[in-house]
Structure 1
Amino acid sequence: MPFLAADVGGTYARVALMQTSQDDGREVDVLAYRKFVCADFPGLAELLQAFVDVDVRTPVRHCVIACAGQVIGNEVLNDNSAWPIHLSQLRQAMALDDIAVLNDFEALGYAFDNHADSGARLLCGPDLQVDGPRLVIGPGTGLGVAVRLPDLAGGYVMTSEAGQMDFAQNSIREREVLAYLAPDGGYVAYERIVSGPGLMTLYAALCALRGETPKLSTPEAITAAAATRNDAQAVEAVEIFCASLGSFAGSLAMTFMSAGGVYLAGGFLYSLFALLEHSTFEQRFLHGRSARAFLSRVPVWVTEHGRKGVMGAAKWYLRRGLSGGAKQAIF
């Protein structure tokens, strides 16, 4: 029986009509797929209905949603969401039998199985495929993180809110930025620095520290100016962003001993690949002393988000036997 799979982030939502593969009941086929801008819709129900009205020709009674944030009670809590998501109301509005929900980066983790990602680009480390823990990191509207366990350990995915960890400055300039953002001390999350909005925060902070007025107003404009090197603050903002991402990824790779590799996911990072290559990302990723021996053996890949979120959500859904009317769904 076909079912809906949605990957809902803070900026974009990707929706697909999925069906169990005829060749392998553990795999899925994509029958239809579309990408939406969340801000174009007043709520998630309207967004999903727009997909159903155009692309779905048979009744659909089941849905799995990969959402940024965490489910608390009946609601998905996420500071970066375009609108509130109340799951029981969504189920009623869409006339669904059930809705299953998981974190969006948990879904991405299920997409990174032992099949090679043909679109991934190697940023640093050896070009090897090893069955070890795989770390998935995605700076976008927020900063998502998940860890996929080795296949020998079941291939399960652990979600996290690692992006909410305290930002750890590494250079004098980063200390100055941190002092500007929190002049009285206190909590500054990595997500506030290492994300699309975080890049804008960095740029605005650097302009303020130099007594200048910001000229650029989007992450894309900042990265474009950094690539052509015609705005000194944009260049420095991207340098700090890439370096901080390297420290963050290296610390988590050590935490989870991610011998299977680190995947930096998302179109935003994919467009930054050339700037990442020429940044201090690798130097900061490798850290120092004994940790360097392990981290130098960990491949770091940059990959587009694409359909991976809906594919991973569908695999998770089938893995738990939720499709076809089973009564194990959350809502």
Structure 2
Amino acid sequence: MADIGGTNARFGWVDGRSEAVQHVRTLSVPDFSDPAAAAQAYLAQLNTLLGSDFQPPHRAAFAVATAVAGDRIELTNSHWSFSRQQVQSELDLQALLVLNDFEALALSLPRLQPTQWRAHGAAPLHQGTLAVIGPGTGLGVAGVLQTSAGWVALASEGGHATLAAGDEFESALLARVRQDFPHVSAERLLSGIGLPVLHGALADVLDQASPPLSTEQIVALGLSGADPLCAQSLDMFCALLGSFAGNVALTLGARGGVYIGGGIVPRLGEMFFASRFRERFEAKGRFRSYLEEIPTALITDTLAALTGAALAIEQYRQA
């Protein structure tokens, strides 16, 4: 299986005797013409490693950072464009599953081990309906539902839902952002592309001078305490993320738990757990008690999507 983004493609192997993903390798997307070439390079490495124990795969699953529909797959942030049928043929596979990367991440949730996540309060239940929200370059949202036929991923474009204000200050903040963007989605502020927008709007609302900063700079300066405005931007980011996560939990009925993935929040460390995230997650008026019982957790394993891809293959085989 593979987890394919704009920069890196992570490949892993399941031998059928265990659910665990093994022999994970990360290959650079720009180094290969398409996923078939990268997969062939990975399999060649694996053949050398395993020797006589190596057997060519019969099934594969690719989790890709783009919308999936039809045979043609166009990756949003890389040069890779491919036909599912052609790649399946080139790799001599009986089946090739292609799913959105957040579908795969959602499917990983039921199998995550305690070493792969950190609870923000009570531990997740791993049953019923679960949700995952991932602030990375963009903002991914997905769910997974437990059924009698197995776990079913619920793909969505929830990151583009309208972001709501929780108080008058946030109303002023969003009004400032709307001067530049007619529609202020959750992704507009709660993502790698959004944190600089949030920081700039916060500076304007507070009438503070601040140069444009990248997400990396805002995180570094905010965590170090070197820049109070950056620290306030991170606090606002966590508060708005908590409010949005509570909306997702209510919308999906995700009483088994809401997970936070993506690349930004793990970098915040203890600041995230000391932030207003959980307070705002629960701040839903008459439904506070409903939200208080829903666990939240941070996914700390960057390879979790491979576990979800492995489950997709297993369920396909059993269907």
> 1:127, 1:320 → 2: CA distance?
29
1:105 aligns with 2:102: yes
Name which of 230, 244, 250 aligns with 1:234: 230
Q: Structure 1's 127 and 16: CA in aligned 2 closer, same or farther, altered over 3 A? A: closer
2:25 matched residue in structure 1: 34
One-letter code aligned to 1:30: V
Name which of 4, 14, 26 aligns with 1:8: 4
Deviation string, structure 1 residues 96-155 (Cα, Å, up to 9, x no partner): 43431111121122222266433321213x336362211111111221122121355732
How much does 1:197 deviate?
2.0
Deviation string, structure 1 residues 272-313 (Cα, Å, up to 9, x no partner): 231212221112101232210111011111112432211210
Give the match's secondary structure for 1:196.
coil
Give the match's secondary structure for 2:73.
strand
Name which of 196, 217, 221 aligns with 2:192: 196
2:132 matched residue in structure 1: 136
Q: CA contact under 8 A between 2:8 and 2:28: conserved in structure 1?
A: yes
One-letter code aligned to 2:177: L
Q: CA contact under 8 A between 1:131 and 1:151: conserved in structure 2?
A: no
Q: Structure 1's 315 and 167: CA in aligned 2 closer, same or farther, altered over 3 A? A: same
2:62 matched residue in structure 1: 65
Q: CA contact under 8 A between 1:10 and 1:142: conserved in structure 2?
A: no
Give the match's secondary structure for 1:73.
coil
Give the match's secondary structure for 1:192.
helix
How much does 1:236 deviate?
2.1
How much does 1:63 deviate?
2.6
Question: Which structure 1 residue ranges, 5 or more long, are not aligned?
Answer: 22-26, 323-327
One-letter code aligned to 2:190: V
Q: CA contact under 8 A between 2:133 and 2:245: conserved in structure 1?
A: yes
Aligned positions of 1:1-331 closer than 5 A: 5-21=1-17, 27-38=18-29, 43-57=34-48, 58=54, 59-60=56-57, 62-76=59-73, 79=76, 81-88=77-84, 91=87, 94-97=90-93, 98-113=95-110, 116-124=113-121, 126-127=122-123, 129=125, 131-150=127-146, 154-183=150-179, 186-207=182-203, 210=207, 212-214=209-211, 216-217=213-214, 219-321=215-317
How much does 1:82 deviate?
2.3
How much does 1:317 deviate?
1.2
Task: Select between 200-209 and 268-277 the one with higher mean Cα deviation.
Answer: 200-209
How much does 1:88 deviate?
4.1
> 1:130, 1:101 → 2: CA distance?
24
Larger proportion of helix: 2
Q: Structure 1's 114 and 65: CA in aligned 2 closer, same or farther, altered over 3 A? A: closer
One-letter code aligned to 1:142: G
Task: Select between 67-76 and 146-155 the one with higher mean Cα deviation.
Answer: 146-155
What is the TM-score when the length of structure 2 is the normalising length?
0.84
> 1:224, 1:305 → 2: CA distance?
21
> 1:92, 1:263 → 2: CA distance?
32
> 1:52, 1:208 → 2: CA distance?
52
Q: CA contact under 8 A between 1:267 and 1:305: conserved in structure 2?
A: no
Task: Select between 291-300 and 85-94 the one with higher mean Cα deviation.
Answer: 85-94
One-letter code aligned to 2:250: M
1:325 matched residue in structure 2: none
> 1:252, 1:52 → 2: CA distance?
39
Task: Select between 177-186 and 143-152 the one with higher mean Cα deviation.
Answer: 177-186
Deviation string, structure 1 residues 227-247 (Cα, Å, up to 9, x no partner): 122113311221221111101
Identity, % of aligned positions: 32
